[in-house]
Amino acid sequence: MQSPYTFDPVEATIETIHDAIFKHGVTCQQIVRAYLARIHTINPKINALICLNPTALEEAAALDGTLPAQQEIGPHFNALFGVPVILKDNFNTSSMKTTGGCLALKDLQAKADAPVVSALKSAGAIVLGKANLHEMALEGLSVSSLVGQTLNPYDLSRTPGGSSGGSGAAVAASLCVFATGTDTVNSLRSPASANRFDSNISN
């Protein structure tokens, strides 16, 4: 007898998320819970996230309620259906603070989602939380006054790069499928090159 399908968030992709949902009957809530469990295990070691989205499971439940109407994955509202993402904490969100990693801005609450956040949600993505960054995205080490230093998940003695290092570390550690970043000089390329596989972190 074949073993029941078990969703594994490690190295999951958009395709494998959709395969789990549409071919194996995994719910969006189950996927979100799998990522949250991994976050609670891994994030204390690497400090990649500033906060979690308090409505993530509610958003997943709402998507689960539309499953009978989902016929195929298309280029519009359902292209990212059920896909967990992390946002660098300089993207405005209505459900979480937007701090830029700055302690002085810890209570800054935007009234509306940034356009890119709205677009991700419209495509079906589920925002799991906000990633640490180098404070105000000004340098390349991903250390902030709000939560401190983010560590490279593949070598805890190394930088994850910056300023989008929290996003890079979150993806490398499979805390989400993908994450947003911003770049003025080297803020995307640095984390992409720094978070390379040479793992000393437990899966």
pLDDT digits (tens, 9 = 90+) for 135-152: 999 999 999 999 999 999
For residue 69, what pLDDT is reported?
67
In the prediction, which pLDDT does 1 show? 41
Mean pLDDT for 35-48 is 98
Domains in the chain: how many in total? 1
CB 63 within 8 Å of CB 106: no
Q: Give catalytic residue positions.
A: 88, 163, 187
Judge whether 8 lies within some domain.
Answer: no
Tell me if 200 is assigned to some domain: no
Res. 202 pLDDT band, cuts 50 70 90: very low
pLDDT confidence tier of residue 197, bands split at 50, 70 and 90: confident
Task: Write out the residue range of the structural domain in which residue 185 sits.
Answer: 14-65+76-194
Q: Is residue 71 part of a domain?
A: no
Does 202 fall in a domain? no
Bridge-based pairing of strands 148-149 and 143-144 is antiparallel
Report the pLDDT value the prediction gives residue 7, as an integer from 0 to 100.
96
Instruction: Flag whether 9 is in a domain.
Output: no
Of the candidates 105, 83, 173, 93, the residue with the CA atom closest to the CA atom of residue 130: 93
Q: What are phi and psi of 98, to 5 degrees?
A: -125, 110
Can you tell me the mean pLDDT for 106-125? 96
In angstroms, the CA 78 to CA 74 distance is 6
* For the chain, percent of residues with pLDDT exceeding 70: 91
Q: Find, among 135, 174, 137, the residue nearest to 154 by Cα.
A: 174
Q: Considering the domain boundaries, does residue 21 fall inside one?
A: yes
CATH code assigned at 85: 3.90.1300.10
Q: Is residue 55 part of a domain?
A: yes
- Residue range 156-184, pLDDT digits in tens: 999 999 999 999 999 999 999 999 999 98
Q: In the predicted model, what is the mean pLDDT of the chain?
A: 92
